Amino acid sequence: MGDIAPRKGIPEFVCIGGTKHRMREFAEFVSFNVFHRKNVKLVNLTKHSHRYATYKVGPVLSVSHGIGIPSMTTVLQEIIKLLHYAKAVDPIVFRIGTSGGLSIPPGSVVVSSWGLNGYLEKSYDIPVMGRSLKLPAILDKRLSQEIYSMASEEDEFQTYLGGTMGADDFYRGQARLDGPFCDHTEEDKLEFLEKLSEMGVRNIEMEAPAFAALTKEAGIRGAIVCVTLLNRLEGDQVSTEKGTLLQWQKRPMAIVAKFISKYLDSSMNGWK
Ligand SMILES: O=P(O)(O)O[C@H]1O[C@H](CO)[C@@H](O)[C@H]1O
Ligand SMILES: O=c1cc[nH]c(=O)[nH]1
């Protein structure tokens, strides 16, 4: 146990997701379900930045990232630097999010195997000094399978393993017909969504390829676990009532918390 004690205080798990509210809830969820602590006083460690929210519960950091790739990659790169300076040993970064599903029931959870960009390539393409830098958007296979194995037949929802398209736009970029601008037909949309399904894409959100690429480039294991708010083959509007949507957002939290709990139990590193 001698080499384990100094790890106290160093993040081993980082979980990021779009909203400040969700990431505070995740910190509460972990505190209660992983560490069995009630009513912990959570402090937003980055309150004065006004940009993102960060909570820490034992070895778990819970951080909001806003909408889309530029916002998410900004905070993800700050986290990669932080993990480096903190000398974190083999940390794992998760994204818990929401998405639109493809031919799966709303409320299902998707554990991503890879990210797909808007050009249907498994890569994250960033313009750097006038040129396009292309980074592969493949997630850690073993980790995604281990997380997928956390799903149980007793869950009241289905969990799937598959590709995730990360679009640069919520409306046209996701083939929606209900945005302020639309230059495609219902037929075009369905043809596109069917094509994605055939490629193995299970859901669409707005960060997957960049998250996959940057965690891979950093040599950090990363996983994406998203709930689907609707079946895009059946519509564009998220019409499920707010209370139900908030309950559904707890599903990725439950899977990730279960994984963290199991991981800490097996590593016996003194956190629990
Ligand atoms: O629920 P979050 O984590 O914000 O993720 C999804 O929701 C946002 C769009 O509403 C995008 O960021 C998309 O990726
Ligand atoms: O359809 C959806 C739902 C959530 N987030 C997205 O980016 N798309």
Q: Please give the tally of structural domains in the chain.
A: 1
Tell me the C-alpha distance between 262 and 11, whole Å. Answer: 17
Write out the residue range of the structural domain in which residue 148 sits. Answer: 5-267
In a domain, 166, yes or no: yes
pLDDT in tens, the chain (272 residues): 233 333 556 779 999 999 999 999 999 999 999 999 988 899 999 999 999 999 999 999 999 999 999 999 999 999 999 999 999 999 999 999 999 999 999 999 999 999 999 999 999 999 999 999 999 999 999 999 999 999 999 999 999 999 999 999 999 999 999 999 999 999 999 999 999 999 999 999 999 999 999 999 999 999 999 999 999 999 999 999 999 999 999 999 999 999 999 999 887 555 66
In a domain, 91, yes or no: yes
222 CA to middle of ligand 2, Å? 20
Question: Measured from the CA of 228, which atom of ligand 2 is nearest?
Answer: 3
Tell me, what CATH number does 250's domain have?
Answer: 3.40.50.1580
In a domain, 226, yes or no: yes
In a domain, 225, yes or no: yes
Q: What are phi and psi of 9, to 5 degrees?
A: 95, -15
In a domain, 272, yes or no: no
Instruction: Report strand pairing: 123-128 vs 131-136.
Output: antiparallel
ipTM over 0.90: yes
241 CA to middle of ligand 2, Å? 15
Judged by phi (left if over 0) then psi (alpha if -120 to 50, else beta), residue 235 lies in: left
Contacts of 121 (CB under 8 A, 6+ apart): none
In a domain, 114, yes or no: yes
110: Cβ below 6 Å to ligand 2? no
Tell me the C-alpha distance between 190 and 176, whole Å. Answer: 10
- What DSSP element (H or E) covers 228? strand 221-231
Instruction: Report strand pairing: 131-136 vs 92-101.
Output: unpaired
E-assigned strands of 137-218?
A: 159-166, 201-205
